[in-house]
Structure formats: C-alpha cells, structure tokens
Amino acid sequence: MPIYEYICRSCGKSCELLLTQSKRDDAGLLCPNCGEAALERMISVTAKPKCECDSCGQGSCGSCSGGGCSCG
C-alpha cells in the first residue's frame, strides 16, 4: 500500500496517509488535523541512496543496496 502526502487547503497542515488501491481516488478523505474534506495530494520528493563505499567518487553509484556495491 502506498503512502501519499497531502496538504489541507483548510488548515494548511500536511499529512501522510497509507491508502489501499480502492481508496486512492482522494474522494472523501478527511484531514486528520481539522477534520475537513479539503486534502490535496502533493508531489512526493524521492531520494537516491548515497553510495556508502566512496570508491566511485560520485557520492552515489546507485548500486549500494544492502551493502553490496559494484562500483569499486
């Protein structure tokens, strides 16, 4: 189940909601802070994991997952 980020147009606070596929249409979602149905889905920022070995010299080789780096 994906986690979606929302901002409330009523109170201005942001929240994260874990939604099933059947509830991902955003209809009827209530703000957990103020209770209003004024949530707007935000674009989530993704992050690339940093290379832990530093042998690639780039800071992120993209293959350092679970300790197995293939850049060095």
DSSP string, 31-43: -TTT--S-EEEPP
Q: pLDDT by residue (tens digit) across 19-60?
A: 887 776 777 889 999 999 999 999 877 666 666 665 555 555
The whole-angstrom separation of Cα 46 and Cα 52 is 18
The pTM for the full model equals 0.57
pLDDT of residue 4: 87
Question: What backbone torsions phi and psi does residue 14 show, to the nearest 5 degrees?
Answer: -105, 160
Burial class (CB in 10 A: 0-12, 13-18, 19+), 50: exposed
The whole-angstrom separation of Cα 5 and Cα 58 is 30
Q: What is the mean pLDDT of residues 58-67?
A: 55
pLDDT of residue 37: 93
pLDDT at 70 over 80: no
The separation between CA 71 and the C-alpha centre of its own chain, rounded to angstroms, equals 27
